[in-house]
Structure 1
Amino acid sequence: MKNSKKTILLLCLFGLLLNIPSIHSQSIKETEIFNWFDKNAGIESLDIKNGPAHLNFDRTIGNQHRYYGADEFKKGSINYNGQDYFDVYLKYDIFADQLILRPYDLQNTTKIELIKANITHFKIGDENFVKLKDLNNSSFKGGYYNETIIKNNQALYIKYYKEKKKNIKEELDLIDYKPRYEFILWKDSKFNLINEKKEIIALFPESKRNINDFYLMNRSLRKENPPLFMKNLMKYINN
């Protein structure tokens, strides 16, 4: 019902704009109209504001944190409950696999944990994330994955997550977060786990020599940045 009301109001708004002579000849992007409506209607009236407050009382070692990338909100977009929202500020808690929203009002310090069941996909900066479910292998972690399209019938999905352990340091009980990754390749109409080199070779037996060479030439990248290593490897194999 809320989405239908929003659609009706947007159609009315668009009709009014078309009837204003000074604006009639201008091209109005759909994204800009939705942004105008969302900001003027207020976050309280939108489906996206539903969810509990996000609280984080972590005391960590150094500058460690539980989030994807940096511990800060970045501009992005989201499909929530069938509705697209643009230019919203998001942060992804990869420890809890939870997407966090900061309301438009910068003076509002409340952070909202968005309801996962209502999220189809989202974007933070230039990175696309999709929610994978009903995977053909029950050993997959599931949840949100970073998506990189390799070609028409192949896509690489990277699951970012963190494991934590307590670390006693100077009589303080601190959290030590360790980044972890799960790599999945959509190929041959199914999801394939590719955490190990042998799993990749099994999918690309004709490229075994190239795969071995790539591993040999990029050992430091694999250690320092496993996601970038895997993205580059998939491009290398398919060139």
Structure 2
Amino acid sequence: MDCSKKTFINSYFQLFSFLVGFLLNFVLCHGQISEKERDYYLLFDDFIGVDNTNLYQGVLYVKEYRTINENTQFFRSDDFLSGSIDYNGQMYFDLDLKYDVYNDELLLKIIQKAGGGTIKLFKENIESFEIEGRVFEQIYAESLPTGFYEVLVKNAFFTLYAKRVKKKFERKDTFIFDEFLDGRSEYVLCYTNKYVLLKSKKSITGLFPEFKNDINEYYRKVNWRTKTDTDGFHIGLMKRIEIQLSNTKKPLVK
């Protein structure tokens, strides 16, 4: 390669590396990515090729279960869904992803020019991912199983998560196949830098004793939703507590 061309490419690569480093630092400080910043990441991936980034690290995925209908181990659909991922401290967008809820693993469809196929990404490298507008973060805490938890509510005071569950059943027809059905989600609250499993009303009033009367009232009025819409029940309750906190306390998260 001509030296001048090599210098030209190296200069551009250094420029893109600087931009990505700057944007990553910004994201870590502010926790959000604007559309313009997202475009910079995509431009970087286009420049060097997403197949040349650190994203393509994982184990070749081999189908483990025999399923015949829409009741699979995957989140929302057996098809690949559009999403993004924070992998090894780098953001990647416009990916084809599958979230295996049963095994708590994330699958990535490899682009054809890189050989095609599907890989199971190294879980320890995944900070968070978004799939079809739903955000999941990996939680490491002594009080909880390590894994991916969906973000339901995130504000200056706390974050409410849901741990999605799939249950496997072996079915017998003319042949044996597997079927996966949604289990009951578990709800976790990150408050004052601690993760707490919300097992009952008592666990919530224990965190917010000053709002005990309001919490009791909420349970009396909408307790029926705990059987039909557990997400909506917990989101509604925590939104109510958020309003109370905003009137009485300073934000805990900057």
Q: 1:15-71: per-residue Cα shift (whole Å, max 9, x none)?
A: 9xxxxxxxxxxxx93432432342454443221111122233533475211122233
Identify which range, 147-156 or 99-108, moves more after superposition: 99-108
Report matched runs for 1:64-213 at 5 Å.
Answer: 64-105=71-112, 110-133=117-140, 135-137=141-143, 140-169=144-173, 172-213=176-217
Partner of 1:22 in structure 2? none
CA 1:7/1:124 → structure 2, altered by over 3 Å: closer, same or farther?
farther
RMSD: 3.2
Identify which range, 110-119 or 140-149, moves more after superposition: 140-149
What is the DSSP-based 3-state SS (H/G/I as helix, E as strand, rest coil) of the residue aligned with 2:186? Answer: strand
Partner of 2:251 in structure 1? none
Matched residue pairs, number? 220
- Structure 1 distance, partners of 2:117, 2:14, is 27
What is the DSSP-based 3-state SS (H/G/I as helix, E as strand, rest coil) of the residue aligned with 1:165? Answer: strand
Q: 1:161-214: per-residue Cα shift (whole Å, max 9, x none)?
A: 222232334553433433232211112331111022221122223333433333
What is the DSSP-based 3-state SS (H/G/I as helix, E as strand, rest coil) of the residue aligned with 1:185? Answer: strand
The question of whether the paired residues in 1 share the 8 Å contact of 2:59 and 2:119 is answered with: yes
CA 1:54/1:220 → structure 2, altered by over 3 Å: closer, same or farther?
farther
- Structure 2 distance, partners of 1:143, 1:216, is 33
1:235 to 239, 244, 248: 239
Instruction: Name stretches of at least 5 consecutive residues in structure 2 with no aligned partner.
Output: 1-8, 20-34, 244-254
- Structure 2 distance, partners of 1:201, 1:67, is 34
The question of whether the paired residues in 2 share the 8 Å contact of 1:150 and 1:235 is answered with: no
Q: 1:194 is aligned with what amino acid?
A: L
Partner of 2:218 in structure 1? 214
Instruction: Name stretches of at least 5 consecutive residues in structure 1 with no aligned partner.
Output: 16-27
Q: 1:81-138: per-residue Cα shift (whole Å, max 9, x none)?
A: 12111222222111111111123449975122111111112222322221111x142x
1:50 to 44, 50, 57: 57
TM-score (norm 1): 0.76
Measured after TM superposition, the shift of residue 8 of structure 1 is: 6.0
Q: 1:88 is aligned with what amino acid?
A: L
What is the DSSP-based 3-state SS (H/G/I as helix, E as strand, rest coil) of the residue aligned with 1:210? Answer: helix
What is the DSSP-based 3-state SS (H/G/I as helix, E as strand, rest coil) of the residue aligned with 1:230? Answer: helix
What is the DSSP-based 3-state SS (H/G/I as helix, E as strand, rest coil) of the residue aligned with 1:38? Answer: helix
The question of whether the paired residues in 2 share the 8 Å contact of 1:136 and 1:190 is answered with: no
